[in-house]
A and B are shown apart, each in its own frame.
Chain A
Amino acid sequence: MGILKSAKPDQAALPEADRTTRSPRPSSGRRFGSVRLSTFLNGTELTLLAVVIAVAAAMSIWQPQQFATTSNLQNMAQQGAVLAIVAMGQMFPLLVGGFDISVGSLIGVSSVVGVEVMVHHGLVPGLIAGILSAGVLGLVNGFLIGRLELSPFIVTLGMLSFARGLALTISGGAPITGTPKSFEYFGAHEYGPIPGTVVVAAGVAILVALLLTVSRAGLYLYATGSNNRAARLAGVSVTRYTTLAYVISGLLAGVAGLVLSSRLASGQPTLGGGYELQSIAVAVIGGVAIGGGKGRLQGVLLGVVFLTMVTSGLNIGGVDTFVQQMVIGAIIVLAVLWDRVRIGSVDRLLRTVARRKPGGAVESKA
């Protein structure tokens, strides 16, 4: 909340200032021809980009033989791409003021349903079945949260357990093998130096970008999360857009499930555990507000790059996996804290504390 409110002045202040001096029409400052970095990245995202570059530089110097190698870059890209697909989906429930902790389990469902259908009916029906199975479960989430107004936490927690159980039931608890050869193009294959997962993730990113910027639905998703009551009174069906958010989250978890299955050449019921928390983490690191209404694709993707790079760096640096978890946990909290420092709410907090202490900077007006 604090972020949301205090973000206003500096977000608009920057472009505002040069718009008035440069252009007669206020809105023309956003046209091409005057492209600058700040057109694409806001403050949070710029900071994150700087941190990403710094981390990359530091790692390249520290571990020149291991970090900036083709194989490690491909490796990171592969891992990051799957997380990116899930996180782009996660972004939607976050935008409308909720979240989806069932995405990890939906990955498992899509994996076993997709591969099972694929084995018996061929590649394309398998892909469709995998994605739709997760999408349908997302629709159930959306109906319960959007229409019946149940808590997102409870609903998706229930779905987390239900979907995992469903995946295990369908597969009998064992991996499903026998995928067609062509399935590898959906993730395992490398297009030149570019891993297939990255190609899929890029495709998803384009669709998400279009949805958020040029579809009417994008407008209503932001409005719903920003002020639910106001959007509803303006005539927006907030039920519909809340539901839509969870459907998208489910569909993209389904895509991620298939991509992972392609790399493993099998359907795995236990696939996807851990993605629920990682996807929320990268979104938050990238500036998506818990509570809704604020968040952009650029931020989420930068968050993914950052987390993937840090994880890889810790691995290469030989940091114990248990310790890695602690580091990642600290980073999530620090990222949000840093964002507040940047925006100034911590500054205010510190000032308040200072004022309480005797001898603190008390402004006394005569």
Chain B
Amino acid sequence: MSVGSAAPLLELRELTKRYAGTVALDRVSLELRAGEVHALIGANGAGKSTLVKMLAGDIQPSTGEIRIDGEPATFETPQDALAAGIATIPQDLVIAPDLTVAENIALGREQRLGGLPGSVSRGKDEHLAAAVLARVGAGVMPGARVGSLSFAERQMVAIARALAAERRLLILDEPTAALTHDSAERLHGVIRALRSHGHAVVFISHRLDEVSALADRITVLRDGCKVSTVTPAEASTGELIRLMLGEAGAEPSLREASAPRSSGEVALEVRGLTREGSFDEISFAVPRGEILGIAGVPGSGREQLVHALVGAEEVDAGEMLVDGRPRRIRSPGQALRHGLLLLPGDRARNGLALAQSLRTNLLLPPGHRAASRGLRRHRREREIADTLLGRVGVKPADPERLAGELSGGNQQRVMVARALYARPQVLIVDEPTQGVDVGGKAAIHQLIKGFADDGAGVIVSSSEVEELEAVCDRVMVMRMGTTVGWVEPAEYGGERLLELALPSAGSASTNEQED
């Protein structure tokens, strides 16, 4: 690095973000130089998204400072961040599928036809788009309709759009999580091209092999704090994992091998369940009283699988046996009648009606015990809701509060309370503690164990290793839609689970950076 050169492109000084009672990001400092690929890694809840959201201007830091080219900057809106040259490319790309590649790249900055106000020169736009695409080596035709492109190609279009707008810093949020190996390779090429053109790139990834191969420097976050910034040469994949998880890997957070509660009766058995493009030939059995874990990074097909178990996603092949009887489940309502309930991840989108009261949210599953013959009894409903909220420890336990006013941890407790109300024979929980603080996690885990203790078959689907090891009797690991292995309690605490879940192709350290 040329010492004494200009100030870093971006500098974060002691950036902190507090939410009511919790610290999402704790005094994180970071420097980004032009021509650098900087990876950001960490377990779920480590603070990666908080950091990215602050750089994108979506949220504002509680304290701390952001400097661009050495000058203090405040991003109060996403426009401020864009104006400072920072482009964030999220996983759910904001891109118009019905427009062409060139139109998407030029959108909002169209070239005029002969300088005529209000006119659009498609020729010039396509020319510019082609130039930008060529610069990063993205083999995408400017005239192609974006809707016809693959996910990787759409990301390249989003990147090209940022370049056309002359953004200097690109933030890629898990760009390769949902990509096949070949597509990811193409995207890596684009990222390298960005670096060689002097752009700074921040990328977030769960794939440690690609992190090592691609990044110049790697910053590891854990529980909202920066653990360290290392170069790939300084840290092996194993060391990165240790940095991400801290001593947690060694913690005896294992599910105590309590006397086998499983009575041997199988609550749910799945044989060869397949959905094209999502998951393939999945088979497992959950005995009553047992907790089965399903591990996998986002994009591994895990979420689609749990949704398919309750009929919220269609399946192409395979069969399900509930209590030993074959069942075809076509909707979550039907699933519930057979005793299966899913507590979905992404509460705001899939789980709760945020503008409705807790009482409404709790009593959603049909089979409404507070009602008689379809008529509601409000006093009884409030009593039930009071009891449920008390059992899961939502404070204040006011059933009339709107779900949207609660913190993430309390919202998740409300979800669990809903399961207590519905009393399923098979409880499926997706990401049970997403966005929940440490204390809340333990409480929710305890509640989930309670279902198994009461004789239900429980499935916990999660991308958090500690969580799976803390609650599950065994864990099925998914990667790219298939089962890649099983992890038994004897193997908990090591790196086996992560190794299986992450496509770590050994040491693919073919990176060519100086420093």
Contacts and interface: CB of A to CB of B under 8 A. Distances in A.
A213 B376 CA distance: 8
Contacts of A9: 405
Interface in B357-377: 360-361, 363-368, 371, 374-376
A216 B373 CA distance: 9
Interface of B: 74, 76-77, 307, 310, 312, 331-333, 335-336, 341-342, 344, 349-356, 360-361, 363-368, 371, 374-376, 378, 382, 386, 396-402, 404-405, 418, 422
A115 interface: no
By CB atoms of chain A within 10 A, which of B341, B371, B376, B418 has the most? B376
Interface stretch (A75-83, A190-198, A227-235, A248-256): A227-235
Interface stretch (A130-138, A218-226, A260-268): A218-226
Contacts of A365: 74
A227 B354 contact: yes
Given A5-B404, A219-B376, A234 B349 contact: no
A20 B401 CA distance: 13
Given A219-B376, A227-B352, A293-B353, 14 more contacts: A5-B354, A12-B401, A19-B398, A27-B400, A214-B375, A214-B378, A219-B360, A219-B368, A226-B355, A226-B356, A230-B352, A231-B353, A233-B350, A236-B333
Q: Which 6 A-B pairs have the closest CB atoms?
A: A226-B353, A235-B336, A234-B364, A26-B398, A227-B353, A235-B365
A7 interface: yes
Contact of B374 (A217, A231, A233): A217
Contacts of B396: 20, 26
Contacts of A12: 400-402, 405
A233 B344 contact: yes
Contact of B341 (A5, A11, A235): A235
B138 to A, nearest CB: 34
Nearest to A19: B398
10 contacts: A5-B354, A8-B355, A27-B382, A213-B378, A216-B376, A220-B364, A233-B307, A234-B418, A235-B422, A293-B355
A233 B364 CA distance: 10
B363 A219 contact: yes
Given A27-B399, A219-B360, A5 B355 contact: yes
A215 B400 contact: no
A355 interface: yes
Given A27-B398, A226-B353, A293-B353, A233 B363 contact: no
Contact of A215 (B355, B360, B375): B375
A15 B398 CA distance: 12
Interface residues of A, number: 41
B178 to A, nearest CB: 20
A234 B365 contact: yes
B313 to A, nearest CB: 11
Contacts of A364: 74
A27 to B, nearest CB: 5
B423 to A, nearest CB: 12
A223 B352 CA distance: 9
Interface in A128-183: none
A149 to B, nearest CB: 14
A209 interface: no
A11 B398 CA distance: 14
Contacts of B364: 219-220, 223, 230-231, 234-236
B400 A229 contact: no
A214 B388 CA distance: 21
A8 B404 contact: yes
By CB atoms of chain A within 10 A, which of B336, B365, B367, B398 has the most? B398
A233 B400 contact: no
Contacts of A352: 77
A127 to B, nearest CB: 25
B270 to A, nearest CB: 19
